[in-house]
Amino acid sequence: MEYFDARRKPHNVGKIIAALVLTTLCIFVLKQSPGFGGNSVFSRHEPGVTHVLVTGGAGYIGSHASLRLLKDNYRVTIVDNLSRGNMGAVKVLKELFPQPGRLQFIFADLGDQKSVNKIFSENAFDAVMHFAAVAYVGESTLEPLRYYHNITSNTLLILEAMASHGVKTLIYSSTCATYGEPEKMPITEATPQFPINPYGKAKKMAEDIILDFSKSKGADMAVMILRYFNVIGSDPEGRLGEAPRPELREHGRISGACFDAALGVIPGLKVKGTDYPTADGTCIRDYIDVTDLVDAHVKALNKAEPGKVGIYNVGTGRGRSVNEFVDACKKATGVDIKIEYLSRRPGDYAEVYSDPTKINKELNWTAQYTDLTESLSVAWRWQKSHPRGYGTN
């Protein structure tokens, strides 16, 4: 027995030494990695690098904005609870920009104050683009409290975190729904805001909170509020698109419903409201391509100044009726979509289109993708190649 132990002891010591060497080496390697011990590049400010927090960055508009920011060499952190967003969109962005320090994704709910504070304490943000929100007019009339929580309350938590952590620049994603149903067209930034549905009301409340905070002593905020109109289209290179949850089709955008009808997912398109005081009886809207929309956000970020607030309508300046839109969708898809006409949708308004003069003048922004059929054709190509959205195709 003594002989056996004597032979084994040196062998065990060798194993222990090897394990210690290996452990030391692993610790050394980990310490050199960007994410060890809070030493992530995302946790510190760097000269010449602007780190943008994109809330709702896994969603339709947020993912396209993240793509544009990454293309323009911004550092991006996406925060999303994936209730409306798609992890598939984040995966596409990570594959396009795999380099360390370019993009990180954080799964979190912006209604959780502890989570929000933790995110801000662990990351060095230079600016916030706040897209995260539930955003369906019809749904807001059915679930108003959800909309006030998700839009208004969550924006308040974001502002509190920004104030606590010294983040001074906010680009806020708002909506023309804050105007309600104005008496005069087109809508300018001076048009009175009288929203008529919980979605518009919640967004206006969030705007009011932002404006009040920006005026408070010591805030020194750089704020840009973008009120945009009906978003269509997708990435011209086919990398991203719109993929709403199937259960939300009833409340979704008309473009999604048109594509579903063209794909045979639904039997036809339901047009809600034919008795509006418009030329053909259907609603009139200003349709803005998502590529133009994110361009406006980046221009707003570049022009944001401490102590100043900019409020801008983002639209083409031209209204198109639902019937015109359907005709364009038929041309884009090549499908003779069946149409069913129904009564009005609660909370909708007859006519809304923008006067983009202010954003043209002050941000040097003009909508470039104004051909309705072409924007829908681009989006249709993505839809056809992604019949299950970002899922298995």
What is the token pair recorded at 323? 């019937």
CATH of the domain at 282: 3.40.50.720
Average pLDDT over residues 344-355: 85
* pLDDT value for 18: 56
238 or 138, greater pLDDT: 238
In DSSP terms, 309 is beta-bridged to: 223
Which among 291, 290, 270 has a CA at the least distance from the CA of 282? Answer: 270
**Token couple for 93:** 């962005």
- 32 within domain boundaries: no
The whole-angstrom separation of Cα 102 and Cα 42 is: 9
What is the set of active-site residues? 199
Q: Is 219 exposed, middle or buried (0-12, 13-18, 19+ CB in 10 A)?
A: middle
**Overall domain count for the chain:** 1
> Which three-class secondary structure string do you get for 79-137?
EECCCCCCHHHHHHHHHHCCCCCCEEEEECCCCCHHHHHHHHHHCCCCEEEECCCCCCH
For residue 134, the enclosing domain spans 51-385
Give a yes or no: residue 2 inside a domain.
no
Residue 393: partners with Cβ closer than 8 Å, 6 or more residues away? 385, 386, 387
Spatial distance between the Cα atoms of 205 and 249, rounded to a whole number of angstroms: 27
pLDDT over 50 at 186, yes or no: yes
Q: At 27, is the pLDDT very low, low, confident or very high (cuts 50, 70, 90)?
A: very low
Q: What is the mean pLDDT of the chain?
A: 90
| Tokens at 360, concatenated | 């043209």
Strand, coil or helix: 264: coil
Query: Quick check: is 378 in a domain?
Result: yes
CA distance 179 to 261: 31
Q: Residue 246 pLDDT more than 90?
A: no
Tokens 């806020």 sit on residue = 172
25 falls in which pLDDT band (50, 70, 90)?
A: very low
What integer pLDDT is reported at residue 244 of this predicted model? 83
Q: In this structure, is residue 95 part of a structural domain?
A: yes
Asked whether residue 288 is assigned to any structural domain, the reply reads: yes
The band of 314, judged by pLDDT with boundaries at 50, 70 and 90, is: very high
Please tell me the predicted confidence (pLDDT) of residue 345.
77
Q: Is residue 335 part of a domain?
A: yes
Amino acid at 235: D
Q: What is the pLDDT of residue 123?
A: 98
From CA 125, how far away is CA 105, in angstroms rounded? 14
Residue 15: which pLDDT band, with cuts at 50, 70 and 90?
low
**pLDDT reading at 130 higher than 90:** yes
How much is the average pLDDT of 156-176? 97
Quick one: which of 76, 79, 134, 149 has its CA closest to 108? 79
Question: d(Cα 81, Cα 108) in Å, to the nearest integer?
Answer: 5
Does residue 120 form part of some domain? yes
pLDDT at 37 over 60: no
Q: What pLDDT is recorded for position 16? A: 59
Cβ 283 vs Cβ 322: under 8 Å: yes
The bridge status of strand 51-55 relative to strand 320-321 is: unpaired
pLDDT at 17: 60
Q: Is the pLDDT of residue 1 over 70?
A: no
Residue 167 forms part of a structural domain = yes
pLDDT for 2 equals: 37
Q: What is the mean pLDDT of residues 225-253?
A: 88
- pLDDT of 318: 96
Q: pLDDT tens digits for 259-303?
A: 999 999 889 998 989 999 999 999 999 999 999 999 999 999 999
pTM greater than 0.85: yes
Q: Give the number of other Cβ atoms within 10 Å of residue 121's Cβ.
A: 13
pLDDT digits (tens, 9 = 90+) for 63-83: 999 999 999 999 999 999 999
pLDDT at 387: 85
Half-sphere exposure of 122 (CA within 13 A, CB side): 15
